Amino acid sequence: MAGNRDSKSLLNGTLSRRAALKGFGAAAGLALAPGYVRYAQAQSSAPIKIGFQAHRTGIGAAYGRWYEKTTTAAVKAINDAGGIGGRPIEIVVEDDGTDPKRGAEVVGKFATQHKTDIVYGTLFSHVVIGSAPTAGELKIPYYVVSEGHHVASTKLNRYVFQPGITDVKSQIQAMAPWVASNVGKKVTMIFPDFAFGHDHRDYLPPALKAQGAEVIAQIAIPPTESSFTKYFPQIPAETEVIYHVMVGPAVLTFVKELGEFYGSNRPQLFGFIDSLEAVDINSPGLEFLDGSHFWEGSPRYAQENDSEAQKAYRAAVGIDDNGAAVGDPKDVSTAAHMFGCWETLYVIKKAMEDAGYKGPEDRAKLVEATEALTKFDEGPEHPQGDKIFNGKIHQCFGHQNISKVEGGKLKVVHRTSIEEGLYEPEGDYTTMPL
């Protein structure tokens, strides 16, 4: 605030001093005007620089590539429509190698070297958590698209936001009622033995219990594992549903081995599409998944009742009806998550315009403006659906989709309400100092 006022008065001061120096009165004013207008224009049309922390290498690269494509598409759409408050967006990309140490360094580089206005776009939870302290110290707003519960846990800091994608705790809570009443009551969970899996391990059992279903076994697979058959005997025979959330490149093996183990005589399956993001659902060995259900943030396959906004979004990003890159059916997107990039950029636009954002001196105002947001309407800016935003925990909440694998496609069979995913806030960022 103060900085902003200073720079304005400085500007005025310069002008009046120059005017006085020339001593020409109105004529001088006219003579000066074009120059001043040009300057003002240059100021107002200088691009807004957004630092995009991208997983170009490392384990997150498959996601990172699609996050970049979506970001490019969204920025083009925003810029074509006049940018943010008349200023175009310029994206500066830095690779974080999907590593928390490099992630923090990259945030520092954005703030002090590239001098971007904000930082945006991180997916992997450990990179978000590793980078958050640096963002907080440098007081640079940091908008992540990660779906982790870290932001909403209020353990990070006031400069970190997740306004474009629902967090995993909310997702699980929203799905549980449908799973309990439509898939089965006795659930065995198979999950990777690290943070993403632990979120499911911790949040699913209470959510199911509230619906009269129960988790009868939890099988945590070590993150270094590349074959899974030896763990399957631990699945109790009375299991009605296997709830699986494996991630990473070994997931295909997981499904194939599950298929070999059970053959056609299998329990019901419910999984998070995270398992198969960027993987063709018709890959050899995945026939086994036919008839099983998946959570999807945004549907991979075009649905019959898709909104115009959804169609426009898919066309802009360049994915076909099967969720693969236009022109390359083998290049499957990460559709269930990457919509978050698109929506986050529009949230940034909205918040910057609300804040009257001029430059880095307005960052605190931008934080407050983002916190003041409460809901996002479905439309071209939010093609996945409407959302509500809780400024106290910096987290948005939207609808979740449950899709069934039918004839080699994912068909949405249920869409949860926003209310099903709401939970008591665990803290309040707005009470922290800026």
User: Within 283-302, which residues bind another protein (CB under 8 A)?
Assistant: 283-285
Q: CA-to-CA distance for 287 and 255, rounded, in angstroms?
A: 9
Binding-site member from 7, 16, 43, 234 for another protein (CB under 8 A): 234
Binding-site member from 27, 81, 226, 424 for another protein (CB under 8 A): 226
Q: State the nearest-atom distance from the C-beta of 364 to another protein, in Å.
A: 15
**Please, what is the end-to-end C-alpha distance for the chain in angstroms?**
12
Q: State the nearest-atom distance from the C-beta of 195 to another protein, in Å.
A: 3
Binders in 183-212 for another protein, by CB under 8 A: 193-195, 198
Report if residue 261 touches another protein, rule: CB under 8 A. yes
Candidates 59-67, 178-186, 298-306, 414-422; binding stretch for another protein (CB under 8 A): 59-67
Q: State the nearest-atom distance from the C-beta of 344 to another protein, in Å.
A: 21
Question: Which tokens belong to 263?
Answer: 């053959």
Binders in 119-148 for another protein, by CB under 8 A: 125-126, 129-130, 132-134, 136-137, 148
Question: Which tokens belong to 337?
Answer: 């998550």
Report if residue 61 touches another protein, rule: CB under 8 A. yes
Report if residue 434 touches another protein, rule: CB under 8 A. no
Binding-site member from 13, 206, 249, 356 for another protein (CB under 8 A): 249
Nearer to another protein, 149 or 314 (CB): 149
Q: CA-to-CA distance for 376 and 379, rounded, in angstroms?
A: 9
Coil, strand or helix at 130: helix
Q: CA-to-CA distance for 130 and 99, rounded, in angstroms?
A: 8
How, if at all, do strands 401-406 and 409-415 pair?
antiparallel
Q: State the nearest-atom distance from the C-beta of 196 to another protein, in Å.
A: 8
Residue pair 111/140 in contact (Cβ under 8 Å)? The answer is: yes
Return the closest-CA partner of residue 195 out of 134, 252, 130, 120: 130
Residue pair 227/253 in contact (Cβ under 8 Å)? The answer is: yes
Candidates 3-11, 21-29, 105-113, 181-189; binding stretch for another protein (CB under 8 A): 105-113
Question: Which tokens belong to 169?
Answer: 């705790």
Nearer to another protein, 105 or 320 (CB): 105
Candidates 4-12, 261-269, 352-360, 372-380; binding stretch for another protein (CB under 8 A): 261-269
Binding-site member from 219, 312, 388, 422 for another protein (CB under 8 A): 219
Residue pair 205/198 in contact (Cβ under 8 Å)? The answer is: no
From residue 178, alpha-carbon distances to 41, 212, 215, 403 in Å are 54, 12, 15, 12
Nearer to another protein, 36 or 194 (CB): 194
Report if residue 350 touches another protein, rule: CB under 8 A. no
Residue pair 334/62 in contact (Cβ under 8 Å)? The answer is: yes
